[in-house]
Amino acid sequence: MEGARSSGLLILGAFLLFAGVLAFANRDAIAAWLDELLGVGGSPSDQASTTRAPTSDRVAPGRLDGPGGATALPLDTVFIMNVWLERCADCMPSFEAWRDLSAAGEIPDVPVVNVAYGQADPAWAKQYKVSEGLVFDSGDRVVRPLGITRFTTLVVAADGKILFAGSPTDQGFSEALRRSVRP
């Protein structure tokens, strides 16, 4: 009986310790661990340079679900597509850079689609100016077919061809973005 009680207390203690670590842990560290576990993101050193090119040169037409229901990608005009994972630790500088560029009026006046990998809280997305055209991708429509592993901004032509891929933290990003949306 005493041995069973000790085992029970040991298990309870381990559970409480684990719960305490989770309660006080750094959310960014947990997000980075999840990014690595899920195969998205990567280490900060992998992402310190520029965004790697998508593995495909086209975005397939289709519909994605979002907070407002199913939305078709606007493949009748040039548009900007941001692809990201909410609270991705490695992506946070890009979220902050996009927010700052938006506030400064540096984003061209074309439709914007924000593709969240998995789900995203619309209020959180609004805080970082990535709520416009918010849709969700489980990974099979945009993220995996294009090989996107971090916050990536694409400029997509009316025929679905990718004209530009970059990150808001890249040197010369806003100028390259403006050049890419011009016909």
Q: Position of tokens 């679905």?
A: 160
Residue 124: phi and psi, rounded to 5, are -65, -45
Strands (E), 67-148: 69-72, 79-84, 112-117, 134-137
Query: What are the beta bridge partners of residue 64?
Result: 71
Query: What are the beta bridge partners of residue 66?
Result: 69
Predicted local distance difference test score (pLDDT) of residue 7: 57
Q: Which two tokens stand for residue 157?
A: 């032509």
Domain ranges of the chain: 2-37, 39-181
pLDDT, the chain, mean: 78
Gap between the Cα atoms of 178 and 107, Å rounded: 8
Is residue 155 scored above 80 in pLDDT? yes
**pLDDT band at residue 19, thresholds of 50, 70 and 90?**
very low
Interval 124-139: pLDDT, tens = 999 999 999 999 999 9
Gap between the Cα atoms of 78 and 149, Å rounded: 23
Interval 162-177: pLDDT, tens = 999 999 999 999 999 9
Cα→Cα distances 14→3, 7, 8, 10, Å: 16, 11, 10, 6
| pTM score | 0.70
Q: Is domain 39-181 annotated with CATH 3.40.30.10? A: yes
Interval 44-63: pLDDT, tens = 333 333 455 677 888 988 88
Is residue 73 scored above 60 in pLDDT? yes
Q: Position of tokens 């979220």?
A: 95
Predicted local distance difference test score (pLDDT) of residue 81: 95
